[in-house]
Amino acid sequence: MAETNLMFLNTAVVRGPRRNRVRLSLAGHGIIRIVLTAFGASAVTFMMVMYALERNHRGFVLAFALGCLLSSAYGFLAGTWPFGVVEAIWAVIAIYRYRSDRGSV
């Protein structure tokens, strides 16, 4: 059996009684990496958009905190725990800002 590994895709040519055929499968945890990367990019994008909109309404401060929590979860899931810790701290700061700014905007 001849095998190749192209990034996340494994191909194998199987020779046997059922003619030559190519079998495709996702390598190891390739699909998990793709989904995790998409989740991380979405979380960080959401967080940055909410940060940019904070001056419009105080609800965006709370949405920013949610974005920080999502980014923190991504950091821990991706194995980059320092990023996860920093984002969790930013979430706490944003929640504090939300609670202390009740009268503005």
What pLDDT band is residue 7 in, cutting at 50, 70 and 90?
Answer: very low
The whole-number average pLDDT for the span 12-21 is 54
Query: Shortest CA distance to 50 belongs to which of 90, 99, 100?
Result: 90
User: H or E element: which one contains 25?
Assistant: strand 21-26
Task: Indicate the pLDDT class of residue 45, thresholds 50, 70 and 90.
Answer: very high
pLDDT in tens, 53-75: 999 999 999 999 999 999 999 99
Three-state secondary-structure class, residue 11: strand
Distance between start and end Cα atoms, the chain: 66
Query: Whole-angstrom Cα distance, residue 91 to residue 97?
Result: 10
The token pair at 93 is 């700061």
Residue of 57, 58, 60, 65 lying closest to 88 (CA atoms): 65
Q: Which is higher by pLDDT, 94 or 7?
A: 94
